[in-house]
Amino acid sequence: MRKTALTPMTTQCRLPQEQTDQMRDVLRRVFGYDRFRGQQEAIISRVLAGGDAFVLMPTGGGKSLCYQLPALLRPGVGVVISPLIALMQDQVSALRQLGARAAFLNSTLTPAEAQRVEQQVEAGALDLLYVAPERLLTDRTLALLARSSLALFAIDEAHCVSQWGHDFREEYLFLAVLHERFPGIPRLALTATADALTRREIVEKLRLEDAELFVAGFDRPNIRYRVEQKTNTKAQLRYFLESEHPRDAGIVYCLSRRKTEEIADWLAAEGWNALPYHAGMDAAARQRNQDRFQREDGVIIVATIAFGMGIDKPDVRFVAHLDIPKSVEAYYQETGRAGRDGLPADAWMLYGLGDVALMRRILAQSTADEAHKRIETLKLNALLGYCETAGCRRQVLLTYFGEERPEPCGNCDTCLTPVETWDGTLAARKALFCARQTGQRFGVTYLCDVLTGTLNPRVAGLGHDRVSAFGGGKELSGKEWASVFRQLVALGYLTVDGDGHGTLQITPAGMQVLRGQDAVPLRKDPLPRRERKRRRAMLALESTTTPADAALWEALRELRKELAQEAELPPFVIFHDSTLRELTLARPQTLEELKEISGLGDRKVQRYGPALLEVLRGFSENHRPASNE
């Protein structure tokens, strides 16, 4: 019986043994890997057999291999629809390093260069062609494909088709033309993030009703999720970077262009290699900053959400949010840019009620219809629940995407430092009563002043020093009351009006609490930790690190940098950090031994093997353990 498009794939297509052997040979010889990860082999088998596939796989899970490898084996060119020029260029560079025949068609090419690529496609001289959706949909490109032999279509970042999503691209709505014009060519839609609504929209808009759904799981166990209450943004960011990521590449997300510029300038003045990136910048300056981030070690990009989709840099050691994103999907997608190499990484976010007020205002001012606004509000509320949870953050994330994790993860802040809870029912009623007595026309700071009995000109001028709520909450400090109000918003008992002033209003659920019908457990905000263990890039070597390991690690990084500069490529295209880690621990001494290292295929061993062995052998001679004789 045919599976529906929303049923995960559980069986593998049966290929002839010869084709299976070819598939595994290409994996080893071209890509340098001994075995497939997760569901890669099942997905590739499905495509090699001519079937469509819908692939949900976390960032860093190996999505690109699912279309690159079958494109090398199937006759014709594999066409990859990608939304970003930078991603195309990086992937084409990486494929050429492996010996694959790859090219892209985009606006960076001159007419003569574009014509040369088109000729290669028509002549069957390419294995993979990367093209933007708007370029694909032109009559010229569709006619070119109709004259050419095609292996497959891969629609990357497929969530861009969803009008409810965070990265909507209108051109994706028209990609159903591939199903209509090329019905015999297998199609893959791939994304790292899609809730149930987005999945249904992808299937419908891309005409993937016959596709098998492969869900590889949303868990990224190497990422440590952490949320802190926003108190002093710059001081908190400085401490985070100094104590944990003093030399690492990372991304700092801000909500506004102005703040992006401000934080980037401040970090640069503080001595960090920090660059801004937002849609309001000159295109050339934006591209220069992105290129530096891709090609240099230790660069911090301070960016709006304009940056990141499709960024193929594996050694991003942290993603920091200085403002909350608008949804769990956006948060998951953005944090997923950390630790693509599988090594430890941080997803660190600052969060405050002012962020909620700002997001509500943005929603209120949106020109979207009411149905869209309702869905966006629900998505924001889900993110607030994640921020305020006293349980395992990873469990909350996975549950949102329909994936259950029975045990806490042990690698998020609430697992590592369990949060205390307290019976906040009485405090919640006092807070709600205060909001009602003052006419539901004020924000958190004012309500905290009333509850703590703080007599200031504004409170006195409005006569709220004479209401019964005034001074009725002196058992808690202003900061503690602010925490109560923040959690009541996250729990849905209060809502923040989008009026620009952060006005708090009581919801129907809040009225039930006010009437004494519901109990309200609240979390105690943890005190700021003054000391955290320093976690540098050498965490890649785990607990076995020795001074000799550290010295070799740095020597290999320096070699990679030199090779990358010579080739004018980002360092990670030469070798991933995970490859350097394995080289450091295994210390191979021959070309054959190098072939056993993950990520070193025949082409890379041939090209870079002698230089690697020179470092490894020289290091072995100069750092021999002391003799016992």
Q: Is residue 628 part of a domain?
A: no
Q: What is the mean pLDDT of residues 490-515?
A: 81
d(CA 304, CA 384): 20
| CA dihedral angle for residue 306, residue 312, residue 315, residue 321, rounded to 10 degrees | 20
**Confidence label for 155 from pLDDT (cuts 50, 70 and 90):** very high
| CA dihedral angle for residue 83, residue 295, residue 322, residue 340, rounded to 10 degrees | 70
For the chain, the average pLDDT equals 84
d(CA 241, CA 219): 25
Q: Is residue 376 part of a domain?
A: no
**Confidence label for 331 from pLDDT (cuts 50, 70 and 90):** very high
d(CA 419, CA 526): 7
| pLDDT value at residue 164 | 57
Q: Is residue 358 part of a domain?
A: no
d(CA 218, CA 563): 34
Q: Which percentage of the chain shows pLDDT scores above 70?
A: 91
Tell me how far CA of residue 16 lies from CA of 21, 49, 67, 284, in angstroms: 9, 10, 19, 50
Verify that 327 and 428 share a domain, yes or no: no
Burial of 454 (0-12, 13-18, 19+ CB in 10 A): middle
CATH of the domain at 123: 3.40.50.300
Last residue of a domain, one of 215, 250, 273: 215
| pLDDT value at residue 13 | 58
| pLDDT value at residue 306 | 64
Q: In what order do the strands lie in the sheet with 212-215?
A: 102-105, 128-131, 77-81, 150-155, 187-191, 53-56, 212-215
34: how many CB neighbours lie within 10 A of its CB? 10
**Confidence check: pLDDT of 34 > 90:** no
Sole residue written with tokens 């032109």 = 138
Verify that 433 and 404 share a domain, yes or no: no
Q: What is the mean pLDDT of residues 530-543?
A: 39
d(CA 508, CA 496): 14
**Confidence label for 536 from pLDDT (cuts 50, 70 and 90):** very low
Q: Position 19: which residue type?
A: Q
Verify that 316 and 404 share a domain, yes or no: yes
**Confidence check: pLDDT of 419 > 90:** no
| CA dihedral angle for residue 225, residue 230, residue 236, residue 240, rounded to 10 degrees | 0
Last residue of a domain, one of 185, 215, 245: 215
Verify that 575 and 489 share a domain, yes or no: no
Sole residue written with tokens 């809730």 = 195
Sole residue written with tokens 């569709």 = 142
Q: What is the mean pLDDT of residues 482-490?
A: 85
Alpha helices, H only, 213-269: 233-244, 257-269
| pLDDT value at residue 302 | 96
d(CA 304, CA 157): 19
**pLDDT tens track for 386-418:** 888 888 999 988 888 878 888 999 999 989 888
Last residue of a domain, one of 215, 236, 262: 215
Angle CA(56)–CA(59)–CA(62) in degrees, nearest 5? 75
**Confidence label for 501 from pLDDT (cuts 50, 70 and 90):** low
- List the single range of 213-217, 361-365, 419-423 with lowest mean pLDDT: 361-365
d(CA 34, CA 31): 9
Q: Is residue 207 part of a domain?
A: yes
| pLDDT value at residue 364 | 76
Contact assessment for residue 310 and residue 159, using Cβ atoms and an 8 Å cutoff: no
**Confidence label for 253 from pLDDT (cuts 50, 70 and 90):** very high
**Confidence check: pLDDT of 529 > 60:** no
- How many distinct structural domains can be found in the chain? 4
Q: Is residue 531 part of a domain?
A: no
**Confidence label for 295 from pLDDT (cuts 50, 70 and 90):** confident
**Confidence check: pLDDT of 528 > 70:** no
**Confidence check: pLDDT of 499 > 70:** no
Q: Comparing 357 with 129, which gets the higher pLDDT?
A: 129
Verify that 410 and 458 share a domain, yes or no: no
Residue among 170, 495, 164, 171 nearest 328 (CA) = 164
Verify that 158 and 259 share a domain, yes or no: no
Angle CA(246)–CA(247)–CA(251) in degrees, nearest 5? 90
Contact assessment for residue 242 and residue 223, using Cβ atoms and an 8 Å cutoff: no
**pLDDT tens track for 551-561:** 888 888 888 88
Question: What phi and psi values does residue 552 have, to the nearest 5 degrees?
Answer: -65, -40
Residue among 293, 289, 269 nearest 279 (CA) = 289
**Confidence label for 623 from pLDDT (cuts 50, 70 and 90):** low
**Confidence check: pLDDT of 186 > 90:** yes
Q: Is residue 103 part of a domain?
A: yes
Verify that 579 and 608 share a domain, yes or no: yes
| pLDDT value at residue 620 | 66
Verify that 254 and 394 share a domain, yes or no: yes
Sole residue written with tokens 């559980």 = 10
First to last CA, the chain: 72
Q: Is residue 377 part of a domain?
A: no
DSSP 454: -
Verify that 506 and 557 share a domain, yes or no: no
Verify that 41 and 132 share a domain, yes or no: yes
**Confidence check: pLDDT of 614 > 60:** yes
**Confidence check: pLDDT of 534 > 50:** no
Taking the CA atoms of 321, 327, 331 and 334 in sequence, report the sign of the dihedral they define: negative
Verify that 410 and 284 share a domain, yes or no: yes
Which structural domain, as residue segments, surrounds residue 252? Answer: 223-351+389-416
| pLDDT value at residue 102 | 94
**Confidence label for 142 from pLDDT (cuts 50, 70 and 90):** very high
**Confidence check: pLDDT of 140 > 60:** yes
Verify that 570 and 460 share a domain, yes or no: no
**Confidence label for 7 from pLDDT (cuts 50, 70 and 90):** very low
Q: Is residue 458 part of a domain?
A: yes
CATH of the domain at 464: 1.10.10.10
| pLDDT value at residue 451 | 94
